[in-house]
């Protein structure tokens, strides 16, 4: 039975840890208390004496492949990008949601729909807590869900009511799984989760094993992900030079085929993702999931025009949620203008998914050639 010690050797030391927080969340939820997150978001022993060496933390890691076949069977995964029931291009109808959204605001619109219909008690999202910073948040009201919408770099400085851990980090990644602890404290059992492919993967592995706290998550909303970026002082300065802009002039940032810097004067600066390796998190080079392949619904801006969202429904539950919201909260792109639009959007998602898979395969092959010293 492999344990957290093996996770350190096999995943952390090679730099493959995604900081998703799944291992710590499980250990904390069942009151073992053996693990914690350090100041950089990496899991570590909090009290090694409390570790009962159950091995579950190792099994649910998205970089460990021992549950891959069970995962594929349980969630009807098929090549090339997982189960696809329907592809839609859509946007929110609510002007307030659109005003906050980065793309078409569909994720926010669906969360509000589920909350209004009484189908969820809340949603685990991420919200702005400072410039270049987002933090996981258990949103329980319409206002909190709307406040978390979009991916804006603003000038808020609200870290005083958060833990000082992570306060010095500037990254596009939010370790949302750790908010499951708040779900347990509030005894909620109908929660929607919005997260990256690695986070969705971890939750689904928990579900395969039938372990807490996965049972509280009723809806898994996954975000397309080319990788997560660090925006420390050096990275921000270099990005200014690469893009020829000043951060004080930035209104918002989005990622589609390029990194899109929206300036306050309405100008958009496009920077090729191939030029952004200097800000990309190291572990993201080894991730092969672009389209959140195990989500109920996957979302992203790629393949859609500005202000719209590409939506891939992957499960009957996801299809039902989307269908139920179409008449009230979601506007569907008028395909009479272009009947092949949804198919073209899916083709673009598949293109970027395959590109990410090929790149990850090359990086893993390179890593395998390196000699990694494993402590005895």
Instruction: With beta carbons less than 8 A apart as the criterion, state whether 191 and 214 touch.
Output: no
What are the residue boundaries of the structural domains of the chain, listed by start? 69-230+280-369
Round to whole Å and give the CA distance between 291 and 134: 21
pLDDT above 70: residue 92: yes
Q: What is the pLDDT of residue 375?
A: 42
> Chain-wide mean pLDDT for the chain?
86
Position 265 confidence tier, pLDDT thresholds 50, 70, 90: very high
Give the helix, strand, coil percentages of the chain, each rounded to 5.
Answer: 40, 20, 40
What's the mean pLDDT in 152-162? Answer: 30
pTM for the full model? Answer: 0.86
Whole-angstrom CA distances from 41 to 127, 164, 167, 196 are 17, 12, 11, 16
User: Is residue 152 predicted with pLDDT exceeding 60?
Assistant: no
Best-predicted range by mean pLDDT (153-157, 200-204, 256-260, 335-339):
200-204
Per-residue confidence (pLDDT) for residue 156, from 0 to 100? 27
Region 107-114: what's the mean pLDDT? 97
More confident residue, 355 or 262: 355
Q: Which residue has the higher pLDDT, 169 or 119?
A: 119
Tokens 């970026």 sit on residue? 229
Q: Which two tokens stand for residue 246?
A: 């000043």
168 pLDDT more than 70: no
SS3 letters for 9-42? HHHHCCCCCCCCCHHHHHHHHCCCCCEEECCCCC
Record the tokens describing residue 261, joined without a space: 């810097």
Give residue 371's pLDDT band: very low, low, confident or very high (50, 70, 90).
Answer: low
């Amino acid at each position: 039975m492999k344990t957290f010690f093996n996770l350190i050797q096999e995943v952390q030391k090679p730099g493959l840890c995604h900081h998703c927080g799944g291992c710590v969340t499980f250990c904390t939820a069942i009151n073992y208390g053996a693990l914690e997150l350090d100041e950089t978001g990496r899991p570590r022993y909090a009290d090694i004496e409390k570790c009962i060496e159950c091995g579950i933390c190792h099994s649910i890691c998205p970089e460990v492949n021992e549950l891959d076949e069970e995962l594929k069977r349980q969630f009807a995964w098929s090549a090339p990008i997982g189960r696809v029931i329907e592809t839609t291009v859509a946007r929110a109808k609510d002007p307030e949601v659109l005003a906050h959204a980065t793309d078409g605001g569909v994720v926010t619109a669906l969360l509000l729909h589920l909350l209004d219909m009484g189908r969820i008690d809340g949603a685990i999202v991420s919200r702005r807590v400072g410039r270049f910073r987002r933090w996981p948040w258990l949103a329980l009201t319409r206002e909190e869900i709307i406040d978390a919408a979009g991916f804006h770099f603003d000038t808020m400085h609200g870290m005083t009511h958060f833990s000082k851990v992570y306060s010095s980090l500037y990254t596009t990644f939010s370790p949302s799984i750790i908010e499951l602890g708040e779900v347990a404290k509030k005894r909620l059992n109908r929660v929607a989760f919005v997260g990256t492919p690695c986070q969705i993967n971890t939750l689904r592995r928990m579900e395969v094993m039938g372990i807490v706290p996965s049972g509280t998550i009723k809806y898994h909303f996954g975000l397309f992900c080319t990788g997560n970026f660090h925006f420390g002082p050096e990275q921000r300065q270099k990005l200014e030079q690469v893009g020829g802009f000043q951060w004080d002039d930035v209104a918002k940032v989005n990622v589609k085929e390029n990194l899109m810097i929206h300036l306050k004067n309405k100008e958009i600066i496009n920077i090729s993702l191939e030029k952004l390796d200097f800000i990309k998190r190291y572990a993201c080079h080894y991730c092969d999931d672009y389209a959140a392949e195990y989500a109920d619904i996957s979302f992203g801006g790629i393949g859609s025009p500005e202000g719209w969202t590409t939506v891939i429904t992957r499960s009957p539950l996801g299809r039902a949620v989307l269908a139920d919201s179409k008449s009230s909260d979601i506007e569907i792109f008028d395909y009479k203008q272009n009947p092949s639009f949804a198919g073209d959007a899916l083709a673009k998602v598949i293109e970027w998914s395959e590109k990410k898979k090929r790149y990850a395969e090359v990086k893993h092959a390179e890593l395998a050639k390196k000699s990694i010293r494993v402590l005895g």
